[in-house]
Structures are given as C-alpha cells and as structure tokens.
Chains A and B, each alone.
Chain A
Amino acid sequence: MNRARYARLVPSDDAAPPLDVDRILADPGVRIVVCCGAGGVGKTTTAAALALRAAEEHGRRTVVLTIDPAHRLAQSLGLTELDNTPRQVKGINVEASGGELHAMMLDMKRTFDDVVLQHTDPARAAEIFANPFYAAMSSTFAGTQEYMAMEKLGQLHARGEWDLIVVDTPPSRSALDFLDAPARLARFLDGRMLRLLLAPARTGGRSMFSFVTAGFGMFSKVVQKLLGAQLLSDLSGFVAALDSMFGGFRQRAEQTYRILQAQETAFLLVAAPEPDAVREAAYFAGRLRADRMPLAGLVLNRVHRPAAPELDPDESLAAADRLARLGGHDGTADVLRAHATLAHQAVREQRVAARFTAAFPTVPVASVTAQPADVHDIDGLRTIGSLAGQGDP
C-alpha cells in the first residue's frame, strides 16, 4: 500500500503560499479587484462569485462589471437587458452584513458613444457617429472592448458610489490587451500618421494632398491605390472630428492605468489547472510585474479533488479488477474506477499548477474545487465564493 506516497501527490497547495481571498474582499483599502486570465477558465463566474461574497459576507457595497456573461449567469444576476449601467441584484443574503451587490454588463459601443458625447458638442458627435470609420472602430477596433472596459471602470471608480468594484476582463486574443489598450490608444493619438492626416484638416479642410511631405505623399499614393480616395477623405474627416476629444481620451486612459497600478487595486489571475491556461497565467504574472501592477494572487479554478483522498488510484484500479473477477460487486468496482480516474486527474492538475508556482513562488494561490454542474445561479456563485474564500463551503 503506497498511501503515504500518494498522499504527497494529492493537491494540497502546500507549495504555494495560500491566497487569502477573504482578506482582500474585506479590506476597505482594496477598492478594485480585476479578474484576468485566458478565455474559458471561469473568469466571469469568479468575478461574480467574489462580488457576491464581498456583499454578503463582508458587507461591502459592491459592483461587478461583467464583459460577456453566459446567458443564464446574466439572468441570475438580473442582467436581462444590456443597459450599460449597474443594477442592484435582489434576493441575496445581505440582511446581516448590510452589503449590496450591483451588476452590469459592458456595452462596448454604447460606452464609446457616451465618451464621444461627453467630450464633444452634439453636432460634432453626430458627425462622428455618421462616419464609417467610427462604426468600424467602435465595434471592431482591436482593443476597443478592452479600452471600453477600462473606461467603464474609470467611470464607476469616479462615481465613488461603491466600496468595491470587481472587474471581469475581456476574453482577449492576448489576455493582456486591456493593459495595452490605453498605451496603444495614446500611441495612436500621438502618432505621426495622425498628425499628418490632421494637418490639412486644420488648415481649412482643403484637399489633404496639398500638404505633401515625402512620407505623406507616399502614404496617400499607396492608400489611394489600394483603397481609393474616398476612404482617405472619410478617414481625414473622422480624424478631424475626433481631434477635439483626443486630449480627454488620452487623459482618461492614463488615469485608468494609474488607478490599476495603485494599492487600492488587486489583480487576481484566474486559471484552470490546464497547461495552456497556466502558461497564460504565468505570462500574465510576468507582465503585471513588469507593469508594476499589484498582483494579489492566482485563483485556480475547477480543481479536481477526490472526496476519498486516502484511497490510492492504482490500488483502486487493482481492487476494481479483483472485484470484477470475484463478481457481485459491480457497483463498487465502477465507483473505484471512477475514483482512480479522478485521483489521477488531481495529481496531473497539481503538477500543472506546480509549474506556475515554480516560476512565481511568492504568488499566493487559492484553489476552487470543480463543481459537478456549471454554475449559473446565486447559490452556485455563493458556493464558488466560499470555496475561494475560506476554502470550505
């Protein structure tokens, strides 16, 4: 019997310092929790579960900003319509704690429209909305969703109505896009191209080709060849119309970036114990460190743990075979085989998670046990929250 050997391999989180999620959620100095990680690891669910826990257990007035929640999860939070503004979630247990939970779903285009309206007069805004480039940029700009998530976070933060804002991040091509969005926007706005395009518009809106530098002559030649002159004039019009609000955009992007770096923010990496997700989390941890963003820890989601951890998987398989030969105990044999599969999976997951801890030994880790069914109601979120928190539902 190799019980001792097996017990060492069972996930125990011993290797990594434990992440005290409850301490973070209860800390009045923490005003923003950002959940980030690869797609498909349960980021949105985690964000919603932590927000619920902050309200129910820690009495905080909490708002959760979700990006693209599953339909049923959205419903359970009362998010039946996408109105881009936080709505209070009813039917949760906050009588004792005095907390509140508000939830909202990001409407990217509407957030962008609001920014435009806020920074420019109605006539200019109408001009911008009508431009085909605006339509393209506001719905498909690589990073628009990320930027608008950060913009919305900035807005919620500025309203000062909440003790705690929990943010889900978009399922980016790279999970880092939301960090890069402000810088990319700034680079874009500072870009020489933009100034070249703006120059003719500023000089009275004559043909932009009257302003010819070597580079710009080449640009216009190529663009005309590829896309036609119509596109250039649309582009020029768009850039000129946006010009009035660039300063505001830029300032807000930088402001949000600074909020993210502040001590009031806690970044939580979310990963499933799978090689890709853990690799992504490690990459992200390195990136947060490089950007001097406050990384609070890793939430390892959907971790499989046998409920009978003392029973060695190989031993179980051998026993199942013995029972099969013996006859009469088919039910137990099936259960033992299933146990062996689960226990083997647990060991594999532990090895995968250990790769992260080997790379970032000081980053605390909390494990959330996998639920048999998908989570899409308040009870399910409560379970996830308590697993992440005290580790005991």
Chain B
Amino acid sequence: MGAAQRPAEPAGTEWPARLHVVTGKGGTGKTSVAAALALALATGGRRTLLVEVEGRQGIAQLFGTDPFPYAERHLTDAAGGGEVRALAVDAEEALLEYLDMFYKLAGAGRALRKLGAIDFATTIAPGLRDVLLTGKVKEATTRTQGQQRVYDAVVLDAPPTGRIARFLNVTAETARLARVGPIKTQSEGVAALLRSPMTAVHVVTLLEEMPVQETADAIADFATLGFPVGRIIVNATRPPAPVNAAITAAELTAGLLAAGLPADEATVSGLATEARDQSVRRDLEDSLRTELAELGLPLVELPLLPDGVDRAGLDLLAAALVRAA
C-alpha cells in the first residue's frame, strides 16, 4: 500500500503516542505484547515498525522467521490492509550508519570496526551504545517521506524493567562522558522525544508478585525521570472461574456420582486439593490486581494463550489491544 493512501489519523485515540516503549520483567511476554501492539496499531491500513534493541532476535523467534538484519523489513500484514515492519537495531551498525549519514565517514567507520574500536567504545561507555540504539529509534519515529511520516507508530521491544530507566535516561549517562559534540546533541534530542507526549512507556506484567513489584518500581522511576507512562498491560490473565474452596468431600462425592464419574477417595481428595489451590491463587491475583489499580494508570488485560504465542494468538492479543482503545 502506498503511503499516500494511508489513513491520516494516528491509530486509535486511546493509543495517542507515536513511539510506544514496551518494557516488563523478564518472562512476562513483553516481546509478544510489543508485537501484538504493533499489529493493533497497524490495523486499518496503517504502517508500524516493531523494533528490538537487545540482539536477542526475539521478533524473528516469535514469528518463526530468519534472523533480521539491520534493515527495516516487512514482517507481516495487519488486519484491514496494514503492515508491520521489523528492525533489529545493532549498535555497531547504527554507529556506522550515523557516521555515514552525518560525516560521510562510512569508510572510517568500517576501519574502526576492524580495529575493534567500536566494540571498545561501546564496552567502556555503555551509555554510548544506548544513545546509538535510541537514536536509531528516534530517527525511525520521526522520519518523513514527502509530507507524511513513514511510520504511523513505532513499537520498541525495550530492555526489561531492571534496565529500562537507565536505557531511556540516555542524556544523564552521556552527559557524564561526552560534554560536547554531536553524540551529546543526539542524546539530548532523544531525551526530548522520550519525554514528549509523542512517547508512551507501557509496562507488561503478570499477576505474580515479582513482576507487579517491578512494575510499581519502574513506574516510580519513570515519574522521577519524567517519562510519560502509557498503560499497564496485564498479560496472560485467565478468565474468572469461580471455585468454591470450601466444597466438602460429601458434596464432591455426590456431584461426581451424579455426573457418572468415579468418586473414589483419591479423586475426591485430589479435586478438593485442586479447588483449594485454585482459590488461593485467585485470591492472590485479586490482591495483585488491586495493587496494580492503585498505581492509577489505565490497565489492559490480555488473555492467557494456552497453546503458546503463535500468529493466531498474536492477532487475538492485537484485537484485545484495539478493543482497549
């Protein structure tokens, strides 16, 4: 689809940002949620870019494709004629591109890479790596062609909650190291974008204690550092299934017999144990939901995909995210 035919409105007024940063504790499914959000925001003929920055090739694994090079590639179509592209940002490649774009120094960059200078520079000053990664994200977010932005939205599968504040807070890190020069200018530009209404940082969590705690911690950090928080996305939730933990053995026995099932002691006590455990889990989930609600941010719940995250599952999550708009 040509750029000129795309809808002019940003996707969904309830997802107003253009750059969506998706973080969350490891194991919460933030890559799947980021992919689903990119699909959701591309619905109806829009074009989005799904970006990863940690060199894990998580997007390729999720979609079962070959590893992505450092290039924006068609990933998949979205409902209603939209398109999702994917990009795996690599700090070295970003630096080479940067040198070439601004200084016509592509040759020098390649020579530096041979020398190990880039590995060296990004090792000794990890802040520089983050500037390069976020710089590329900013470039893609703000890139225009003709009078129109190339991407209606950019979704960043960002580092996990433990590292996200530091990753986003690039200016502080580089200001300590680079006091002048274009890297400083670049990081200031990134910092401004990340703190503007164009950006929303979403936190993915599960209804488990540690992820909820990390969600609260990260949101407190974002408030301190001035990053606009979008939503808390509660992933892998189960539909409410009322189970009476206090059900007696006699009731269970009667019920099993009425249903024509075996009602031996092992089965009855086994089912009673399951009911108790289930109810403990539900109570815990309810209290965690309350904790999340008290953070005062919009919550979106996504269903557990029992068969793992495949393409159909992603579409289901995307539809749930669109509905949340």
Query: Is the Cβ of A319 less than 8 Å from the Cβ of B126?
Result: no
B146 at interface, CB cutoff 8 A: no
Per-residue interface assignment for chain A, residues 329 to 343, with 1 indicating a CB less than 8 Å from any chain B CB and 0 otherwise = 101111111110110
A71-B213, A373-B280 as given contacts; A335 in contact with B99, CB under 8 Å = no
Binds A, one of B33-41, B136-144, B218-226, B264-272: B264-272
Query: Is the Cβ of A173 less than 8 Å from the Cβ of B162?
Result: no
Closest to B246 in A: A331
Q: Which residues of A contact B (CB under 8 A)?
A: 38-41, 68, 70-72, 132-133, 135-137, 140-142, 171, 173-174, 184, 188, 191-194, 215, 218-219, 221-228, 230-231, 234-235, 238, 272, 274-277, 279, 306-311, 315-316, 319-320, 322-323, 326, 328-329, 331-339, 341-342, 344-345, 348, 352, 372-374, 376
Which residues of the other chain, A, contact B2 by a CB distance below 8 angstroms? none
Query: Is the Cβ of B254 less than 8 Å from the Cβ of A142?
Result: no
Closest to B279 in A: A372
Minimum Cβ distance to chain B for residue A239 (Å): 8
Q: Which residues of B contact A (CB under 8 A)?
A: 25-29, 54-56, 61, 99, 103, 105, 108-109, 111-112, 115-117, 119-127, 129, 159-160, 162, 166, 173, 176-184, 208-211, 213, 238, 241-244, 247, 251-252, 254-256, 258-262, 266-267, 269-278, 280-281, 284, 306-309
Query: Is the Cβ of A132 less than 8 Å from the Cβ of B116?
Result: no
Given contact pairs A218-B108, A319-B259, a sample of 10 additional A-B residue pairs in the complex whose CB atoms are under 8 Å apart: A38-B26, A223-B121, A226-B183, A329-B251, A332-B256, A335-B243, A335-B252, A342-B274, A345-B306, A372-B280
Pick the contact of A332: B99, B213, B255, B278 (CB < 8 A).
B255
| 18 A–B pairs (Cβ distance < 8 Å), ordered by A | A40-B26, A137-B125, A174-B56, A188-B123, A193-B115, A193-B116, A194-B120, A218-B112, A222-B103, A307-B277, A308-B267, A322-B260, A335-B252, A335-B274, A337-B241, A341-B241, A344-B306, A373-B284
Q: Could you tell me the dominant secondary structure of chain B's interface residues?
A: helix
Which residues of the other chain, A, contact B120 by a CB distance below 8 angstroms? 188, 191, 193-194
Give Cα distance in the complex from A136 to B278, angstroms: 47
Pick the contact of B112: A222, A337, A348 (CB < 8 A).
A222
Which residues of the other chain, A, contact B309 by a CB distance below 8 angstroms? 275
Give Cα distance in the complex from A192 to B105, angstroms: 21
Which residues of the other chain, B, contact A224 by a CB distance below 8 angstroms? 181
A38-B26, A306-B270, A338-B241 as given contacts; A331 in contact with B255, CB under 8 Å = yes
Query: Is the Cβ of B247 less than 8 Å from the Cβ of A331?
Result: yes
Give Cα distance in the complex from A308 to B260, angstroms: 16
Query: Is the Cβ of B115 less than 8 Å from the Cβ of A142?
Result: no
Pick the contact of B159: A173, A194, A238, A339 (CB < 8 A).
A173
Q: Which of B122, B159, B181, B208 has the most CB of A within 10 A?
A: B181
Pick the contact of A141: B126, B243, B271 (CB < 8 A).
B126
Which residues of the other chain, B, contact A329 by a CB distance below 8 angstroms? 251, 254-255, 258-259
Query: Is the Cβ of A225 less than 8 Å from the Cβ of B103?
Result: yes
Which residues of the other chain, B, contact A374 by a CB distance below 8 angstroms? 208-210, 284
Which residues of the other chain, A, contact B252 by a CB distance below 8 angstroms? 331-332, 335
Query: Is the Cβ of B306 less than 8 Å from the Cβ of A227?
Result: no
Q: Which of B26, B127, B208, B273 has the most CB of A within 10 A?
A: B26
Query: Is the Cβ of B259 less than 8 Å from the Cβ of A39?
Result: no
Query: Is the Cβ of A307 less than 8 Å from the Cβ of B271?
Result: yes
A329-B259, A335-B274 as given contacts; A218 in contact with B111, CB under 8 Å = yes
Which residues of the other chain, B, contact A225 by a CB distance below 8 angstroms? 103, 181-182
A308-B270, A329-B259 as given contacts; A227 in contact with B177, CB under 8 Å = yes
Give Cα distance in the complex from A322 to B271, angstroms: 18
Query: Is the Cβ of A332 less than 8 Å from the Cβ of B182?
Result: no
Minimum Cβ distance to chain B for residue A173 (Å): 5
Minimum Cβ distance to chain B for residue A137 (Å): 6
Query: Is the Cβ of B274 less than 8 Å from the Cβ of A219?
Result: no
Which residues of the other chain, B, contact A277 by a CB distance below 8 angstroms? 27
Query: Is the Cβ of B262 less than 8 Å from the Cβ of A40?
Result: no
Which residues of the other chain, B, contact A306 by a CB distance below 8 angstroms? 270, 274
Pick the contact of A315: B176, B261, B269, B278 (CB < 8 A).
B261
Minimum Cβ distance to chain A for residue B256 (Å): 6
Query: Is the Cβ of B112 less than 8 Å from the Cβ of A219?
Result: yes
Which residues of the other chain, A, contact B127 by a CB distance below 8 angstroms? 136, 140
Which residues of the other chain, B, contact A323 by a CB distance below 8 angstroms? 255, 258-259
Which residues of the other chain, A, contact B238 by a CB distance below 8 angstroms? 341
Which residues of the other chain, B, contact A275 by a CB distance below 8 angstroms? 308-309
Query: Is the Cβ of A191 less than 8 Å from the Cβ of B241?
Result: no
Give Cα distance in the complex from A337 to B244, angstroms: 12
Query: Is the Cβ of A307 less than 8 Å from the Cβ of B173?
Result: no
Pick the contact of B271: A136, A222, A308 (CB < 8 A).
A308
Q: Which of A173, A234, A277, A279 has the most CB of B within 10 A?
A: A173
A277-B27, A310-B266, A335-B247 as given contacts; A136 in contact with B177, CB under 8 Å = yes
Give Cα distance in the complex from A201 to B246, angstroms: 76
Closest to B175 in A: A132
